[in-house]
Amino acid sequence: MIFDEVNRPSSAPEPHRRRRRRRSSPEHSSGGREYRRPRSNFEKASRLSRSTADRGDRSTAAWLWMLGLLVVITAGFAFYLQQQKAERVPLPGEAPSERLLAFVDPILAPLETGAEGYDAAQLDQVAAQLQKDAAATTLDDREVYTTAATMTSILQEAAQDRARHMQRLVDLGSPVIGLSEGGAPKNPAMTDAQKQHLELAVGVSWQRNSGNYRNRVEELWYRLLRLEQGRFQGGSASAAMAPPDPSNQ
């Protein structure tokens, strides 16, 4: 027993001490890498806030740049329109509203006025001249003549419709100023009561149609006056000269 204790190697460490040193060795505990302290929540929040602020600054700068560009474009376009308006030369000749004013009221008047007060052939000549004027002007001035041409086409349609209604009265034997002073109806068997009923129906039909024509014409009329403002040397028709509605008289 004594020799066994003396022969035991003194340099051999005890098992539990060897195990303890192995655990405490930095090579085994960190796998050969340096130890790094984990970031705190404050550091993470600070870094996130800085990145968010940087993105917000870039976005604000982009929006300010776009806003400045839009302001510059708007100012340039306004200056261009002002220059174009200042350089406009008054258009020659009579304003389209002055040419058309004489046709509106006679064509849309009740049938009792007959075919007097207007000339359908002269209205066709005005329409042809407006088309020539529109073709000879620039795009900025063309809208004046195209609006007047549209108004003229409505008046031509109304004049044709009026002529058909007056012809119905002539066929009934009713007097129509400028067409017939009255005579025998095409249907001799028609009684006076039937004749009066048909005359009334023709008058109501034209009153309804002429009201529709007048609404379309007046809408174009006021638009035409706005387009003509300051564009013609002789001026245009006044808004107070707008044709009255005979049905309200």
- pLDDT band, very low/low/confident/very high, at 89 (cuts 50, 70, 90): low
Mean of per-residue pLDDT scores for the chain:
77
pLDDT of residue 244: 47
Cβ proximity of 160 and 240 under 8 Å: no
Q: Is the dihedral of CA 172, 176, 178, 182 positive or negative?
A: positive
What is the DSSP track for 100-113?
A: HHHHHHHHHS-GGG
First to last CA, the chain: 148
Question: Environment class of residue 203 by beta-carbon count within 10 Å: exposed (0-12), middle (13-18) or buried (19+)?
Answer: middle
pLDDT of residue 234: 62
Query: Which residues pair with residue 180 across a beta bridge?
Result: 176
Q: What is the pTM of this model?
A: 0.61
CA distance 138 to 230: 17
pLDDT of residue 145: 92
Angle, helix 120-136 to helix 139-171, in steps of 10 degrees: 170
Local structure of 91: helix, strand or coil: strand
Asked whether residue 111 carries a pLDDT value surpassing 80, the answer given is yes
Asked whether residue 198 carries a pLDDT value surpassing 70, the answer given is yes
pLDDT of residue 191: 87
Alpha carbon dihedral 139, 145, 151, 154, in 10-degree steps, equals -90
Looking at per-residue pLDDT, the higher value among 176 and 41 belongs to: 176
